[in-house]
Amino acid sequence: MTSMPDRSRTVLLLNGPNLNLLGTRDPAQYGTTTLEEVERRVTDLGGELGVRVVCAQSNSEGEMVDRIHGARGWAGVVLNPGAYAHYSIALRDAIEAVEVPVVEVHISNVYARERFRHTSVTAPVAAGYVAGCGVFGYELALRAVLRRDAEREEVSDGTRAG
């Protein structure tokens, strides 16, 4: 008999448009680590921290919305929305609707780049925000998601860990 994965111990790692090209796309901004390698590192860290990581990448806004909806009831989401961060109200609303901690990641320091990248419409509804740490930011974001999830549980249990 196969056991069902525990949704409350599952994190979605979701990468948006053009991030499938990591490794070769603009290495000065994004480095040379591939998406496959990023997914492996985050999955391995999840294993160490006791969570299953489900990895997805999409270039389509609607598919990303669907993926975020699918993470309802999960421990949280590590999300690099790519350029959608700068203008997608649909992604913003999806993050708000699912009521799970979503930590937004940008590999590059968007504030050191073009002005249009300084705005994130998704960040105000995110549980945290990491930018400019390179692909290491994904590992920081996973830790932050789990911290936020533990805080939610403390609130719903009426307990507070030290």
Cβ closest to ligand DQA, residue 10 vs residue 20: 20
Nearest distance from C-beta of residue 97 to ligand DQA, angstroms = 22
Residue 69 is among the residues annotated as catalytic for this protein: no
DSSP state for residue 7 in the 8-state scheme: G
Cβ closest to ligand DQA, residue 9 vs residue 143: 143
Dihedral angle, C-alpha 3, 7, 34, 87, nearest 10 °: 150
Residue 129 is among the residues annotated as catalytic for this protein: no
As a whole number of angstroms, the distance between CA 150 and CA 79 comes to 19
Cβ closest to ligand DQA, residue 6 vs residue 37: 37
Active-site annotation holder among 30, 84, 129, 138: 30
Nearest distance from C-beta of residue 104 to ligand DQA, angstroms = 9
| Nearest alpha-carbon partner for 126 in 68, 83, 70 | 68
